Amino acid sequence: MPNNITIDDLLQGNYVSDCRNKLIAKIFKEIAWIERYGTGIRRIRDHFNEYGSPEPLFENFQHGFRVTVYSLNTVIDDADVKVTAKVTANQQSILDEFSKNQFSTAEELSIKIGISTRKVKENIAKLKAMGIIERVGADKGGFWRVIKGNDKN
């Protein structure tokens, strides 16, 4: 990073982008890997926040700049999820599958659980209404999060 920009400036957007390698920047702009100069860090942080992921850690070190990216914790212990007697066997199966793969689709769940896609969608809607799961992100590319510590007894 340029010496005149601190990590705090970067995170607050208090800087003016200065292209150090104009040829590389021009190529990236032409192939649409860059939308606008100086917006990358903000857009990266926005995407991580949108998906409920921990924000990356940005660090200056002796001769460089490092970004540490943390993954979402997709493993949920049974003890972390308290569900009520109102949850049916099919709904519990859906929760179990989401704890294994939060990107599971209704079609995939239908095959794994052995019920119709329509019934899977109905059960997902009921789990969402009960506050047991929530959707993070868009229909395409998003995922289902089982809400930990749910105590609706």
| Per-residue pLDDT reduced to its tens digit, 44-88 | 888 888 777 788 888 887 777 788 887 665 444 444 444 444 788
Tokens 């400036």 sit on residue: 9
User: What single-letter amino acid sits at 51?
Assistant: Y
Residue 153 has pLDDT above 60, yes or no: no
Q: Which helix (H) or strand (E) holds 128?
A: helix 117-129
CATH of 78-146, one of 3.90.1560.10, 3.30.160.70, 3.40.50.620, 1.10.10.10: 1.10.10.10
| Per-residue pLDDT reduced to its tens digit, 3-21 | 778 888 888 888 887 777 8
| Per-residue pLDDT reduced to its tens digit, 83-110 | 444 788 889 899 989 988 989 999 999 9
3-state secondary structure 42-106: HHHHHHHHHCCCCCCEEEEECCEEEEECCCCCCCCCHHHCCCCCCCCHHHHHHHHHHHHCCCCCH
Alpha carbon distance 18, 38 (integer Å): 8
- pTM, to two decimals: 0.43
Provide the pLDDT confidence category of residue 112 given band limits of 50, 70 and 90.
Answer: very high
Q: Where exactly are the structural domains of the chain?
A: 7-68, 78-146
| Per-residue pLDDT reduced to its tens digit, 21-39 | 888 888 888 887 777 777 7
Extract the tokens encoding 94: 């859906």
